[in-house]
Amino acid sequence: MPPIAITSTETVRDVNRHRILGLIRARQPISRAELARQTGLQPSTVSLITEQLIGQNWVTEGAAGQASRGRKPRLLYLNVERARILGVDIRPALTTIAIADPNGRVITYERMPTAPQPRVFVRNLCRRLQAFLRAHPRLVCEGIGVTVPGGVDHARRRLVAAPNLGWRDIDLKAPIELATGIPVELENAANACAIAEASFGTHRETKDLVVVTVSEGIGTGIISGGRLVRGASGLAGEFGHVSFDERGPLCSCGRRGCWEVYASNTAALRAYSEAAGRGAATGHAPGITFDQLLTLAEQGDGKAVAALSGVGDYLGRGIAMLATGLAPSLILVVGEVTRAWGIIGPALEKGAAARTSSPLPRIAPAGDGAEARLRGTVALVLRKQFGTAIVA
């Protein structure tokens, strides 16, 4: 089990609770006596905390275990029957609502259109969440993790700006908490993915990690020396809106030639449409979805492959900067593009290697694109309950 960092807002009791909950998660089923042995805490302290966890539906008692003599101990498990974590991943066209168990496993998810007006969107989302809670009265929802494609002000707990959505200074937390009665954790999507991978994913205990989320735009979540980098403004990591060419195509942020204009799902679709439009008799670019573009590339469509490898090259250009500047041990790419890693990966590596003399770290896709983003939403709630080696 990784050491748990104590942040200024945590008490010793929180830390002990995190340790016990973390041990139950890792070693379940486990007895109270074994928890006391492994944590070095007094049995009475362990009993008190486990009773609280049972009362809060995080933990449940199962079958009796083995004991050499005397009463057989009741074993403890995470309460996968009743405890749920909700995750909400907001993207420009579609928002995904995930339902996960306390182990962080996504059980199911559903999608809803993202209304362009934030007020309408929040009302629709609250209705969906309320309908879910009404339909499952036996479940206990322990938290809602909400991720956004933009900057979050953690002091004011508001979304500062999401250029791809055209939203500025929005309170997402208070209205959802009011409608559901469940605490909401709000975070930038790339930061949430970085927390998920370094705290609960396959890259646990990686202290220097950069996550690049590729979707309608680009986000980066940076973990350096075991800390999530927020910077003085709290908005560190908005590399997607650094301009590569001020005469380039217009970006949603109002500038021209931003990194994400060249290296995103939107960029791949634009490149494909331009190439296909030139070839088509009508001269009109065909409108296809990014999913369809990936399928075309898988079928060997030359224009689709070229569009994706162009995005790979541009991803590499930006990643060369990140790798040189931050020297992480690992860069993870999250997004639907990872489905075409056979095309994206080599173009990205080549694009990056050509632009830096620094050695490149391992650059890898973070599993299934959509799932990786949902793990990010769930990790925001898990972080609060289990603690984490990453200081965020």
Residues in contact with Zn ion by CB under 5 A are 241, 251, 253, 255, 258
Which lies closer to Zn ion via its Cβ, residue 48 or residue 253? 253
Element (H, E) at 25: helix 12-27
- Rounded to whole angstroms, the Cα distance separating 128 from 113 reads 11
293: nearest Cα among 336, 346, 335:
336
- Rounded to whole angstroms, the Cα distance separating 59 from 78 reads 4
Task: Kindly report the number of other CB atoms within 10 A of residue 51's CB atom.
Answer: 12
Asked if residues 286 and 293 have their Cβ atoms less than 8 Å apart, the reply is no
Element (H, E) at 160: strand 158-162
Asked if residues 363 and 319 have their Cβ atoms less than 8 Å apart, the reply is yes
223: its two tokens: 């973990």
- DSSP per-residue letters across 53-65: HHHTTSEEEEEE-
Question: Quick check: bond before 29 cis, omega within 30?
Answer: yes
User: Strand order in 158-162's β-sheet?
Assistant: 151-153, 158-162, 167-170
Q: What is the DSSP letter of 154?
A: T
Amino acid occupying residue 310: G
388: nearest Cα among 208, 141, 225, 198:
198
214: its two tokens: 């590729």
Which lies closer to Zn ion via its Cβ, residue 230 or residue 255? 255
Instruction: Measure the CA angle with vertex 16, ends 12 and 21; round to 5°.
Output: 145
CB under 8 Å to 285, separation ≥6 — which residues? 273, 274, 276, 277
Q: What is the DSSP letter of 219?
A: E
Minimum CB–partner distance for residue 52 and Zn ion (Å) = 47
Q: Tokens 């939203």 correspond to what residue?
A: 167
The terminus-to-terminus CA distance of the chain in angstroms comes to 18
Minimum CB–partner distance for residue 216 and Zn ion (Å) = 12
Q: Tokens 């632009």 correspond to what residue?
A: 355
User: Any bridge partners for residue 223, and if so which?
Assistant: 209, 228
Backbone angles phi, psi at 211, to 5 degrees: -105, 130
Q: Tokens 């690992």 correspond to what residue?
A: 330
